[in-house]
Amino acid sequence: MTATTEAGVTRELPTRSTGQFGVIVFLASDLMLFATFFAAYFLLRSTSDQWPPIGTDLETPRALVFTLVLVSSSFTMIAADRAHARGDRRSMKGWLIGTILLGGAFLTNQIADYATLEFRADDGTYGSIYWGLTGLHTMHVTAGLCVLSLLFMRAMRARTLEDMSSWAGGVSLFWHLVDVVWVAVFITIWVIK
C-alpha cells in the first residue's frame, strides 16, 4: 500500500497482517469480557451493606508482591521483543524464560491463595465475584504461559526470527493485556475494597 504526501512524494505505508488484526479483535473482545466482570463487581458492591463481608480477609501485602512480580514480567517481555527486533535469538529466548518464570511464580501464588481462602465461590455474592474475576484472570495467565512456551519453542526452531514476527507480536500483546488487567483487578479487590 502506498500514499502520496502533499509534496507529491510516494512512500510505502506499513501494512498489518490479517493475523495481527485477528489478535487485536480477540484482545478487544477479551477486554469486553473483563469489563462485564468489573461491572458486575461494582454493581454487587453498590448493593451490598458490608463489602467485603466479615470473614473475607485477603493478604494485601502478598498480593502486592505478586502483582509486582507479574508487572515485572511485562518488562522481561519487552526485553524479549527488543531482542527479537535486533535478531538476537539467544537474548530473546533468555528473556522469554524470565517472563515464563515470573508468570509461573504469579500463577503458583494464585493457586496457593485459592487453597488458603476462607471463602468459596458459593459463599455469597462476594465469594462468587471474587472467584469469578480472579479465576478468569488465572485462566488467562495459564493460557499466556502456554503461548509463551510455544513462542519459546518457535524461537528455538524457526530458521529466522522474522519467520515468527507476527506470532511474537500477538503473544506479546496478549501477555501485556494479562498484566494490565491484573493491575485493575488488584486495585479493585485489594486497594479500593
In this prediction, residue 2 has a pLDDT band, given cuts at 50, 70 and 90, of low
User: Given a cut of 60, is residue 27 above it in pLDDT?
Assistant: yes
CATH 1.20.120.80 fits 57-192, yes or no: yes
User: Given a cut of 80, is residue 65 above it in pLDDT?
Assistant: yes
pLDDT tens digits, 104-122: 999 999 999 999 999 999 9
Among 166, 172, 186, 182, smallest CA distance to 144 is for: 172
- Would you state the pLDDT for residue 7? 61
CA count, 13 A, side-chain hemisphere, 191: 9
Q: What residue ranges do the domains of the chain occupy?
A: 57-192
In this prediction, residue 12 has a pLDDT band, given cuts at 50, 70 and 90, of low
3-class secondary-structure state, position 55: coil
- Would you state the pLDDT for residue 15? 53
Mean pLDDT over each residue of the chain, to the nearest integer: 90
* Angle at 141 (CA atoms; ends 29, 115), nearest 5 degrees: 125
pLDDT tens digits, 133-181: 999 999 999 999 999 999 999 988 888 777 777 788 899 999 999 999 9
In this prediction, residue 3 has a pLDDT band, given cuts at 50, 70 and 90, of very low
Q: Which amino acid is it at 23?
A: V
168/20 Cα distance (integer angstroms):
10
Q: Rounded to two decimals, what is the model's pTM?
A: 0.88
